[in-house]
């Protein structure tokens, strides 16, 4: 693998242009330093000299892709920490890549976490579960750093909410992240519904009811919600809260109200 990467880098460097390599390396070094990313000893240990030269020569994105692809072989060989280190390096080189942050956290919290829990080297089930929780937390921290680097996209907020929901079993924290994700204009509508549902699971029934009402009174012709699902959830929470019939969105003894236009 390293031989192939080195050969590709040689070809890329040969075609890079007439500007002296030393000048390009210095320019890229300053750019990395200005962006808050420096080539550390740990990065050199992970990437190897060939890829470090590529980074300093201006092939930062190419090097990040190679490191990311390279990390897959660690997954196949069950070298979890080596894979973890390579995913860290890839995001340091390309901190604006939503894909790297998203898939990296998924590997940690789902794939590696599960593999650690069922590892036959565990003495007890409790030991396996403890090791799994360590990777859940690593995945969480990875997403938090991803959001810090890419705060203007909904995807990582949603994935952090999903992690809180599925792995940490914390609907309150999940609702907070779903709310942020749903606030983006290009976010899928199902995230808003998940936000409302987690508010109810968190015990915040009044907030959940307001959340469902905000959805219901949107224009049904313009907003692609699953309106039957929204109606069902509103009816359910109205019953759970024992809301007086006159104050319900769906009074039990009256026709269904029309949504706003």
Would 34 be classed as within a structural domain?
Answer: yes
Terminal-to-terminal C-alpha distance of the chain:
60
Q: How many Cα neighbours within 13 Å face the side chain of 7?
A: 4
**Coil, strand, or helix at residue 207?**
helix
Q: Which of 88-102, 156-170, 213-227 has the lowest mean pLDDT?
A: 88-102
Would 261 be classed as within a structural domain?
Answer: no
Residue-range definition of the domain harbouring residue 72 = 1-87
Would 47 be classed as within a structural domain?
Answer: yes
Encode pLDDT of 209-248 as tens digits. Answer: 999 999 999 999 999 999 999 999 999 999 999 999 999 9
User: Percent of the chain scored above 70 by pLDDT?
Assistant: 74
The number of domains in the chain is 1
Would 61 be classed as within a structural domain?
Answer: yes
Q: Model's pTM, two decimal places?
A: 0.78
What value does the mean pLDDT take over residues 172-201?
Answer: 98
CA–CA separation, 29 vs 43, rounded Å?
14
């Amino acid at each position: 693998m390293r031989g192939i990467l080195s050969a590709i880098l040689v070809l890329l460097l040969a075609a890079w242009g007439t500007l002296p390599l030393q000048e390009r390396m210095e320019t890229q070094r300053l750019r990395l330093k200005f962006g808050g990313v420096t080539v550390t000893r740990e990065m050199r240990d992970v990437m190897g000299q060939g890829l470090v030269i590529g980074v300093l020569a201006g092939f930062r994105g190419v090097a990040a892709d190679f490191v990311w692809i390279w990390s897959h072989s660690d997954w196949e060989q069950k070298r979890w920490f080596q894979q973890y280190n390579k995913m860290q390096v890839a995001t340091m080189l390309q901190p604006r890549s939503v894909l790297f942050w998203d898939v990296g956290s998924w590997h940690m919290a789902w794939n590696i976490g599960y593999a650690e829990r069922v590892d036959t080297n565990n003495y007890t089930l409790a030991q396996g579960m403890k090791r799994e929780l360590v990777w859940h937390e690593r995945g969480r921290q990875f997403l938090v750093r991803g959001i810090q680097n890419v705060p203007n996209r909904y995807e990582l907020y949603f994935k952090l909410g999903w992690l809180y929901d599925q792995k940490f079993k914390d609907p309150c924290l999940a609702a907070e992240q779903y709310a942020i994700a749903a606030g983006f204009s290009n976010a899928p509508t199902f995230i808003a519904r998940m936000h409302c549902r987690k508010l109810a699971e968190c015990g915040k029934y009044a907030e959940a009811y307001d959340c469902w009402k905000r959805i219901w009174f949107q224009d049904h012709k313009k907003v692609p919600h699953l309106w039957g699902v929204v109606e069902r959830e509103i009816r359910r929470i109205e019953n759970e809260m024992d809301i007086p019939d006159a104050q319900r969105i769906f009074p039990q003894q009256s026709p269904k109200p029309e949504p706003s236009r």
